[in-house]
């Protein structure tokens, strides 16, 4: 963004047209709103200007990416837990075989 200055209580920000190079001022609250929403505005020569991506869109994409990464991490964690539990169950089954007469005699000694 450009230089900020105040005239009669209105905060203005300088903007340079990317087409013709004209420097002009826009009320800062309006510029912030345009940046957030991605709206278009014009330079004094009539060239249309817009922010490539609105702040809201950028933040929405970041939130969607974070949500997707979280889903993937939760799915991977669930997979690891299932595998661990499966190994534990298999180990428990091996160690919990039925007792034989021989096992009973050993335990009496």
23 falls in which pLDDT band (50, 70, 90)?
A: very high
**48 and 17 Cβ atoms separated by less than 8 Å:** no
- Mean pLDDT of the region 75-101: 81
Question: What is the reported pLDDT for 98?
Answer: 66
Claim: this prediction has a pTM higher than 0.75 = no
**C-alpha to C-alpha distance for 30 and 94, rounded to whole angstroms:** 72
| Among candidate residues 22, 43, 26, the one with its CA nearest the CA of residue 34 | 26
CA 15 to chain centroid, in Å, comes to 30
Q: Which two tokens stand for residue 44?
A: 């004094």
**50 and 41 Cβ atoms separated by less than 8 Å:** yes
pLDDT of residue 106 exceeding 70, the answer is: no
**17 and 47 Cβ atoms separated by less than 8 Å:** yes
- Mean pLDDT of the region 29-51: 88
Q: Which of the pair, 2 or 94, is modelled with greater confidence?
A: 2
């Amino acid at each position: 963004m450009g230089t900020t200055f105040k005239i009669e209580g209105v905060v203005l920000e300088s903007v340079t047209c990317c087409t013709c190079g004209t420097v002009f001022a826009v009320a800062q609250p309006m510029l912030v709103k345009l940046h957030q929403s991605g709206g278009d505005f014009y330079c004094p020569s009539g060239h249309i200007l817009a922010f490539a991506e609105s702040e809201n869109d950028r933040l929405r994409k970041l939130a969607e990416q974070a949500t997707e990464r979280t889903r993937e991490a939760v799915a991977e964690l669930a997979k690891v837990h299932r595998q661990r539990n499966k190994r534990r169950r298999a180990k428990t089954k091996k160690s919990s075989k039925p007792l034989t007469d021989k096992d009973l005699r050993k335990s009496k000694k």
